[in-house]
Amino acid sequence: MIQAESIVRSTCPYCGVGCQVNLHIKDEHIYKVDAPFQVAPNYGRLCAKGRFGVDFVHHPGRLTMPLIRKDFGVTPRQPVGLEGFREATWEEALELAARRITEIHQQHGPAAFGTFASAKVTNEDNYVFQKFVRGVLGSNNVDHCARLCHAASVTALTIAIGSSAMSNSIAEMKDLDVFIVTGSNTTETHPVISTFLREAVVNNQAKLIVVDPRQIEMTEFAEVWLRQQPGTDVAIFQAMAQVIVAEELFNQEFIDARTEGFKDYAAAIMDCTPEWAAEISGVPAEDIRTAARLFANARTGAIYWGMGISQSVHGVENALSLANLALLCGHIGKPGTGLNPLRGQNNVQGCSDSGGLPHVFTAYQPVADDAIRAKFEQDWGTTLNPEPGLTVMEMVDAAASKIIRAYLIMGENPLMSEPDLRHSRHVMEQMEFVLVQDIFLNETSEYADILFPATSFAEKGGTFTNTDRRVQLIRPAVPAPGQAREDWAILCDLAKRVEILLGRPASIGFDYAHPSDIWQEMARLTPAFQGIDHARIQREDGVHWPCPTPDHPGSPYLFEDTFPSGRGVFTALDVRPGAELPDPEYPFILSTGRVLYHWHGGTMTRRSKLDDIYPDPTVEVHPLDADALGLADGQWALVRSRRGQIKVKTIVTERSPQGVVFIPFHFAEAAANELTLDARDPKAKIPDYKMCAVALEPV
């Protein structure tokens, strides 16, 4: 029973920092949020979203009842508001969903389903989701928004060192020596992390190297700022590596002991001089040399990056060029070093860890590995599909080709996050069945046949895993609105019904009393988690995986002695142009990203008081470009690409360089992805959100 006044510890539902929060409750309402001062990872620090942005929990637009589309089964479907749905009981909605799923399965087989796990829900929710998809439906077509943010980082790090997670912890940041921040507007996307990074500069005299086309706030703390032309990242980092090799600044002992391919790599980059990179990137050659020498001569050197590196048609090469630098200098395997992709959403790391990817079970155990698959088959009591499934964008392609007939979506909003939204909407219109479970009606669920109301982070228990692999608890603080239920509980009821309709014995196991039971099952099947349980997480305020035994201390940093692949691998790289370059008709480069007061598709922050601070969609335009276009600050502009157009408010600023415009992707009424290009990295299948050609004109 929730008391009239109480304080409940939980984990912030926004970015991957995983800040610990105290939810102050009175009369079943969150009236204040602050942070415990002595608890990692934030030690009392919170950003605007964590401190003031959780009022979305009490928004009147929360889904409170199961909903069934009034024109159920009619295609092509059109988006409808709440008036296009009718309320239903849980029994009716679950039975109808199970029957429709079974019909499609019997007619078209497991390949007919495209399913979306979620970076917003718990590890336990995601584990049950992928267990249902794999164990009951027989499909590995399960993916989530990690495909659209750091898939390139995951692929590159797997190639280079055999592991894809952030290698070092947030706690090490304040003691850094030299570090690189690239492709990350850290003060707005990971504000609490940015305070530790700035603290390293101010209090520890650390040297910061920023590599970014935009004049982000971190440049004010930088020893060197390399302002490259968009899409030329590989040239910059390849030239830094060339300086390190040519001047013999590399760590020969580390290279000999722990890497392979150095001689071939060194020979391949000898022509990639700073002068060569300057021609491509626009960055002065001497600045590249300065940055290279700083990083190579560091006692410890760390690299942090965001989606400016990964969201590219050459995102894998971008991240590999960073891995090459770390391996050259031996800046990995020690505190204050490492390869550190800053994860976006609160549980995007955990969703991937929990099996929310098409080619792996939990903690990246391949579905194609016979021994691993046999372990899951024995535990679940079923036969599993050995073929890796489709990624998010491959599912769109398969749906367009009528291979996928149904979407099952948990807590994701692909009709805000996918590129070329006009095409994505067309695919959704033709779908035979769409099932969504979420906390609000959004751009995707407007196309749903059935809507299941889910609980928010403040109404459920379980775990999130933050960007540095720290597994942390969330706890129920307020009652769920109406008949909303926890995602795992909804999925269990649905899975058992589908099993019965498919004529299978209910042997897979969907009877859990508590999220801790789900974690225990996941840990039993996952060596990296076997030393972690809910009781230990509560006792120790979080545990870093890998943690293979109960007496293991957890792993704040990785690779002290070896890499999962044995040796780190150097990779020679080519510089490739972007998929769509400016031309006379579309003369500007568009880049997209976040702002401080909003998060991703805006589903939560735009239902918060934060929307009052930043209510309008915007475009950053350089003053010289604005003058040439006749655009004034605050004036509305039309931005067009070959795929669509949106209307946004102009911000005239030198923050974006001349010839480049920047649009946040939080605003459904002016979705940046109406403009972006569905061009993908060939290895990671991640779309290029950071570079396409657009035109602007005053409205």
DSSP 567-631: SEE---------SS---SSS-EEEEEE--TT--TT-TTGGGSTHHHHS-S-EEEE-HHHHHHHT-
Tokens of 407: 């979407």
| Residue 205 pLDDT | 95
| Residue 506 pLDDT | 63
Q: Work out the mean pLDDT of the chain and round it to a whole number.
A: 94
| Residue 323 pLDDT | 97
Tokens of 387: 């073929």
| Residue 382 pLDDT | 93
With cut-offs at 50, 70 and 90, classify the pLDDT of residue 1. very low
pTM: 0.95
Q: With beta carbons less than 8 A apart as the criterion, state whether 21 and 46 touch.
A: yes
Tokens of 591: 């880049």
| Residue 347 pLDDT | 92
For 177-224, write each residue's pLDDT tens digit.
999 999 999 999 999 999 999 999 999 999 999 999 999 999 999 999
Tokens of 374: 């046999």
Range of weakest confidence among 326-340, 356-370, 434-448, 685-699 = 685-699
For tokens 């509305």, the residue is 636
With cut-offs at 50, 70 and 90, classify the pLDDT of residue 507. low
Determine how β-strand 692-698 pairs with β-strand 588-593: antiparallel
Determine how β-strand 433-438 pairs with β-strand 450-453: parallel
With cut-offs at 50, 70 and 90, classify the pLDDT of residue 3. low
Q: Which residues contact 237 (CB under 8 A, 6 or more apart)?
A: 211, 318, 321, 322, 324, 325
Measured distance CA(529)–CA(523) in Å, rounded: 5
Domains of the chain: 5-58 (2.20.25.90), 67-73+80-145+346-506 (3.40.50.740), 151-342 (3.40.228.10), 588-698 (2.40.40.20)
Name residue 357's beta-bridge partners: 360
Q: Please check the confidence at residue 575 and state whether its pLDDT lies above 80.
A: yes
Range of weakest confidence among 15-24, 313-322, 466-475, 678-687 = 678-687
With cut-offs at 50, 70 and 90, classify the pLDDT of residue 132. very high
Specify the amino acid at residue 150: H
For tokens 């970014």, the residue is 212
Question: Average pLDDT, stretch 80-95?
Answer: 97
Query: Within 162-284, where are the H helices?
Result: 186-189, 191-204, 233-246, 252-258, 262-268, 274-281
Residue 383: Cβ-neighbour burial (10 angstroms; 0-12, 13-18, 19+) = exposed
For tokens 């001089």, the residue is 273
Question: Average pLDDT, stretch 439-463?
Answer: 97
Question: Average pLDDT, stretch 366-393?
Answer: 95
Q: Please check the confidence at residue 64 and state whether its pLDDT lies above 80.
A: yes
For 397-445, write each residue's pLDDT tens digit.
999 999 999 999 999 998 888 777 888 899 999 999 999 999 999 999 9
Beta strands in 92-170 (DSSP E): 113-116, 142-143
Name the residue with higher pLDDT: 567 or 505: 567
Side-chain-facing half-sphere of 326: CA atoms under 13 Å: 27
Question: Average pLDDT, stretch 576-601?
Answer: 90
| Residue 408 pLDDT | 98
Range of weakest confidence among 159-163, 428-432, 449-453, 576-580 = 576-580
Q: Please check the confidence at residue 642 and state whether its pLDDT lies above 90.
A: yes
